[in-house]
Amino acid sequence: MGTGRRGLLTAAMTVVCAVTVTALAAPGTAFANVAAPTPTTSASPSPAAPTRPADKELEQVREKLDTLYHDAAVATDAYNAAEEKAEKQSAQIVELAKKIVEGQQKLDRLKDQAGAAARAQYRSGGLPPTAQFLLSDDPGQVLDGAGSVLNGQRATRNLISEMTRTQKDLRQYAADASAQWRKLEAGRKAKAAAKKKIRQQIAAAEKLESRLEKKQRERLAKLEAQAALKAQTAWLDTGILKDIKSKASTPGRKAVEFATAQLGKPYVWGAEGPKSYDCSGLTSQAWAKAGHPIPRTSQEQWKQLKHVGIKDMRPGDLIIYFDDASHVAMYVGDGAIIHAPRPGRTVTVAGAGSMPILGVVRPDA
């Protein structure tokens, strides 16, 4: 990652963590060195005071909010998956409808041919070609007549076979279309259920936060930042950062550039840009712009994309979080990620180890 981008990411991370009492180090080690929180001064030194009851209560609120927003993220993935399936099923139904129309037109043409043959037979006195040949008085027509009979019989058999195949195809197209309609309806119900759950979880979280006073909300924000910082510090203390040395691929750089340009845009569940994103909406769009379309949801990204070791990850790779693969972020180097966190937040820079890592996937493997 270039010096300019590193400076931008470091500056953005500084803004994100401004609510904490921790200062970030220089760009090259943006997430490697963290200063201890400055203790509150008092008239006389005393042992560290236990956590205030208010903080304990706020910590419970923070944990509850984490649970609510996590459940909303899981429901968002279900909604996005249903949406993606609906788009594919709709496209399949359109294609089947085209095949049904084309098949019906073909069947109509075959029926016209059969009708023409029947009319020709009527005009010849109703005698089939074989009888006309046998009753002919002209011996010179014997060989020609024999060929005509065989050709006529062959043409009739081919016509009947073609009509039978076309009718069979039409029945299959109709059955497939009906099956896709049933799947589409089931997907619609699944999407509606997911949407309802998302709204319920977010409404519950917003109601919980609305009960807090301004100072409590500010303190809650500090507790959230401190929890993320604690997790990031523990991750860095493993020494992992010194092992991560891979450089971004050309598509990876493009994906990182796109994600960086989205900083500050709001999180909206189900959104894929350009004005707002959810977590997988951001990563899928970034890689689409880089010329490598990937699955829409974080769970499918985890299932379908190539897995790589954390020590082998490079800028542009995607880090999947939580055991249920309910969150995804883009690694951008120096131990940092860009992601769309949750409702009420914006696309931002954070520490790669600030959440439980499930694994890393590479879209352009």
Residues marked as catalytic? 279, 327, 339
How many Cβ atoms sit within 10 Å of the Cβ of residue 200? Answer: 14
Distance, in Å, from the CA atom of 81 to the CA atom of 198, rounded to the nearest integer, reads 14
Distance, in Å, from the CA atom of 259 to the CA atom of 5, rounded to the nearest integer, reads 12
* Nearest one of 45, 113, 32, 65 to 216, comparing CA atoms: 65
What is residue 177's three-state secondary structure?
Answer: helix
Distance, in Å, from the CA atom of 153 to the CA atom of 279, rounded to the nearest integer, reads 66
Distance, in Å, from the CA atom of 298 to the CA atom of 318, rounded to the nearest integer, reads 9
291 in Cβ contact with 254 (< 8 Å): yes
- The residue type found at 231 is A
> Is the peptide bond prior to 128 cis by the omega test (within 30 degrees of 0)?
no
Distance, in Å, from the CA atom of 240 to the CA atom of 300, rounded to the nearest integer, reads 27
Q: Where are the beta strands (DSSP E) in the chain?
A: 306-308, 318-321, 327-333, 336-339, 348-351, 357-362
